[in-house]
Structures are given as C-alpha cells and as structure tokens.
Structure 1
C-alpha cells in the first residue's frame, strides 16, 4: 500500500511553499505528490517547479480538467512533465464540475463521460509517439504526431470519477482511478464498478492503481481539527454543485446531503458544520489527534482493492496544519 500526499487545493503563500511541502513529503517517504488544478495556480508550472526541487518523489495531476485544455495539449503537457521530472510523472484527468468549467473557463460542460474517454484515448496516442488519428464525437484529428521523442517510460493516465458509470469508465480505459468523498462502504461499491470496467476493457487489474484521496487534519486540539474537516466537507457538498451532494446521497445520506446543499448558501453555515455527524466524519475523513489519525488512516488502507491512500487537507488548513499533518501521517 502506497501513501501519497495531495497538495493543498486552497491557495498557499507562494509556489515555493508548495515546493517545500513536496520536499517535506519526499524526505518523509511519501510515494507521490499530487497537485489539483482549480482556479488558483496552474498545475503545470507548479509541478515543473516541484520536479526541479525534488529528486525521487513522484509527481502527478489530480486532477487536470479535461475541458480547459485540448486532449492533444494534455498529451504534450504530460510528455513534457515526464521529461522534466526524469520519468516521475503520472497524469490524472477528470471533468471537474460545471461550476468551474462553465463559470471559470467558459466552456460547455457537455457529456463528461464521453469527453473523458476521448481525452484519454487521444492523450495515449500522443504519448505513444503515434500519428494521432481519431474520429470521435468531440475530437476529429489527423496528420500530426508529437514533434519530440515520446517520453520513456510512458506516463500512466488515471481518471477521476464519483458515480458508477464514471468509475466503470476509469476501469475500462484508464490506468487507474482517483476516488474521493467516499465512505468505506461507498468505496467498496465503486471498486466493484471499477473491477467491472477493467474486465470489460480486458485490462490487467493488477497493474491498475486505485488512489483514495482522504481529507486529513492532525491537531492536538482534536475539536479544531475535526471542525476544519467538517467545514471542508460541507463546502463541497453545499457549494460545489451537485456531484458531491449526489455522491453522498448515493451512499445512504440523501436527506443530509440535500440539507447541506440547500442550506449552505441561505442558512447558518456554522450550524451546519456544528451539527455534521461525528460518525459520518470518521467514515469520510481522518481528523483528530496524531495517534487517532494514524489509527484511522490504517483502517482505510486495509480496504481490499485500494492501492494508494492520498493524504489531502481541508481547504481552511494553514500551512502549519499541513506540515503537521504530513509529518504525523508519514509512511512508516
């Protein structure tokens, strides 16, 4: 079982701060540093800086939105990041959500399953150094191949997904799946979807990775750590469209999911956070004292079918919270 670090989605003081967080993770033995891309610093520039500032730790995008770059450019970017990192790059792709894609990028959030598949297909052709020839619903390409030598080794491509069909698609066409906002039982349900997709695609399931992103916060002030993670979950369920709400509802928490979603913008956010169920928090995340968190992350890592636990952080975490959590949950 590998343990990765998912660098903060929230704005950090500088690019150098993110580099230093990756360097800390490298010193402590984490396998890979993932970087999300939302509406802050772009992932490519930051990951290039991290590649130059580290020697051994893997790097990856989790996730690079498929609507904000063409599929061919995503392939070019993956090839370049593989070169500058000396073969340490892994490409994580996903649709993001309509709030970000339509309101920030100004693109139509259309048919994410098909768009994801076509992006993965085209990026694989680019990375293989083949002449890209593709006749799809969204991409009709022919005549060009990567101008430089294709990367060696070829970077693996993972897909993010929350719903059954999205996870099945990841198993069928990608080299791995990025999971988040799932209870232990929810993970098992989606793993069945991933396994089915892998079988449909005649993939070698043993070579595919399943990475679970866990929101983690370690603090001797147990209640503060848990409050930060509760606020993080409520923000995503309530403020980031329907995907997180639907994922929580799908796992047996429909009433709560709709309550959070409906009241986040109009209601008392502090009350929502204060009343968030303690047992559900422990089903979705890792929050509390150092000893408690080390025990809890081990229960997730014991789930059959997972290959990577990725330590991520609540959006309101301060840099010192991030450093403390990276230290406390370092691989043994």
Structure 2
C-alpha cells in the first residue's frame, strides 16, 4: 500500500505549512497529494502552485465538483495541469450533494449517476482531441435549445500530454462505487472502514463485470482518505477526529439525505448517527462530537502513538485500498516531523 496526503479544501484561508508539507512528501517518496473544493477555495489552483516545487509526486483533485465546471472546461484544466506537471495529474471528480449543487451552483441535483456517466464521457473525448458532440440530456453539445443556433462542434486546440490521463471518481454509495469501477481508473472513498471491505469489494466487482468496463481489479486504484493524528494522548487525538465526524454526520447534508451519515449507518452506527445528527442540527455541536465513541473513530481513522497507529494500520493492508491518503497534516503541531514519523511507522 502506498501513502499519499489529502490537504482538503481551505478553511478561512490557506493552510499553514502546506508548501513545506508538499515538498517533504515529495522528498519522502509519497505517491500523491490531493486538494479539494466545497464552496470556498477551488481544487485546481493550489495544485498548480504547490506542485510547481515538486518533482515526482502525483497531483490529484479529491474532488472537483461536476456542477462547478462544464465537462469541456474540466478537460481543459486537466490537460493544462497534466502538461505543467509532466504527466502527474489525477482528475478526481464527484457530484457533491444537493445543498451545494442547488444552493451554490444553482443547478439541478437529480440523476447524479447519469450525469456522471455523460460528464466523464465528454471529458475523455475532449482529452482524446475528438470533435466533441453530445446529445445530452445533461450536457448537450453544441447547444441547440435556447441559444443563437451558431454553436458548432469543436476539437481542443491543445494536444494532451497523455490521452489516458487517469480519472478517479469520488463515491460513497454502492451504485456510485460500482460506476467508478465501470467507467473510471480509480475510486476515492471517504470514510472507508476495513470492516466494510467485503461490501465495497462486491460493489466494485459489479462495476468490473459490466460490458466495456475500463479496468479490472488488478489495475484499478483505490485512494482512501484517512484522518491521522499521531499523539501520546489517544483520547485527545480522537477528539480532533470526533469534531470532523460530527460535522459530516450531523451537518453535511439534510435530514433524510446525508450520504456521509449513510456510510456510518452501513457500518452499524445507526443509533449513534441519529443522536449526533439531532444534536448537531439543534446547534449542540460539542455534544454531538462527544457522542461519537472511540470505536467509531477507530473505524475510519488512525490515532494515538506511532506504535498504535502502526497496529491499527495493519487492518487496512489486506483491503481493496491501494493508497492511504493522510488527512489532517496541516493541523499537526509539527507537520514535517510528523510526516517523517508516519512514513517510518507505516513502512
């Protein structure tokens, strides 16, 4: 299993020490760094800035939101970054959720699987320098309804650095995971648990079995984002994770439609999730975090002294995960020393 870093999206401003962390990860032989976007910082600009000082580490988005850009605009950005990085870019895509898609981008959320399939098809054909047309219904090209009628099919003027630029798909539900296995080169799970390995293997197998599937289980990558806190105080380290889990389980989505909550329900944490969501939506965020047991933290995170982290990591090694993306590095007291310690502990 390889190691990577997920720097995520920014909070109120750029994360401290990010440039130094990226350079250190490159020097230590980490496989990839990832950025993200929600409704603040974008995922592409930080990769271009930070990645300019690296030599070998791969640069990925985890994830670019489909509704933020048209498929051809995303393909343009992907080809540009792939050229600038010498073929090190990974295009990670995801649909996001209805609150962001409809509230921030002003677009319709329904039919996310069909939209994803159509979107990736256009991206691939753009990168292959085909004359791009699409019958829609989600991304018709050229536009024929409501426009001037002057649009015409076009081919990218930019020749790609790689026509096989890898596309990964962020997915949580079984149908989305199966779709990733069918049409993408990799899967970006959030809140993966080794206990759910059989469940996800079955979903991936369903995708690999589809006619025309792009990859097989042997050449498909799974890059799982895993919060990591190396500290002597296990419970104190777990508290940092609890706050993040409470946000996603309790506040990232509406009651009755929260895809992150659904992941933990499938793990068997239904009662805890209901309590956390109730407390969080009532504004009792500290209580929501405190309601998360240590066992739930250990399901999806690595916390504690280096020896404990190494012991917990052994549960991940037999799973479908091919690269573990360390989250939370910018919040460590000494990120550079922490990366070195982590690399030594997990190798």
TM-score class, shorter-chain normalisation, is over 0.9
Q: Select 2:195's aligned residue among 173, 177, 185.
A: 185
What's the CA shift string for 1:217-271, capped at 9, x where partnerless? 1122322211001111111000100111122112222222122112212153323
1:173 alignment counterpart: 183
Q: Cα 1:84–1:217, aligned 2, differ >3 Å: closer, same or farther?
A: same
Q: Are the structure 2 counterparts of residues 184 and 152 from structure 1 closer, same or farther at C-alpha, using a change threshold of 3 Å? A: same
Q: Which residue of structure 1 lines up, in the alignment, with residue 339 of structure 2?
A: 326
Larger radius of gyration: 2
Q: 1:297 aligns with which of 301, 313, 320?
A: 313
TM-score by length of 1: 0.92
Residue matched to 2:146: none
Q: How many Å apart are 1:10 and its aligned residue?
A: 4.0
Counterparts in 2 of 1:240 and 1:111: CA distance versus 1, 3 Å: same
Aligned residues: 329
- Which TM-score applies when normalising by structure 2? 0.88
Aligned to 1:237: 249
- Could you tell me which runs of 5 or more consecutive residues in structure 2 were left unpaired when the two chains were aligned: 143-152
Report which of the two has the higher share of helix: 1
The residue that corresponds to 2:149 in the other structure is: none
Residue in 1 aligned with 2:280? Answer: 264
> Is 1:113 equivalent to 2:103 in the alignment?
no
Separation in 2 of the partners of 1:211 and 1:3? 9
Matched, 1:40 2:40: yes
2:322 corresponding residue in structure 1: 307
Q: 8 Å contact 2:61–2:91 — kept in the other structure?
A: yes
CA contact (8 A) 2:189 2:225 kept: yes
1:76-95 deviations in whole A, cap 9, x for unaligned?
Answer: 11100101111100100001
The answer as to 2:147 corresponding to 1:151 is no
**Stretches of structure 1 lacking an aligned partner (at least 5 in a row):** none
1:252 aligned onto 2:263:
no
CA distance in 2, matches of 1:328, 1:180: 24
Instruction: State the superposition RMSD in angstroms.
Output: 2.0
Q: Given that residues 168 and 198 in structure 1 are in contact (C-alpha distance below 8 angstroms), is that contact kept between their aligned partners in structure 2? A: yes
Moved more, 186-195 or 55-64: 186-195
Mapped to 2, the partners of 1:209 and 1:98 lie a distance apart of 27
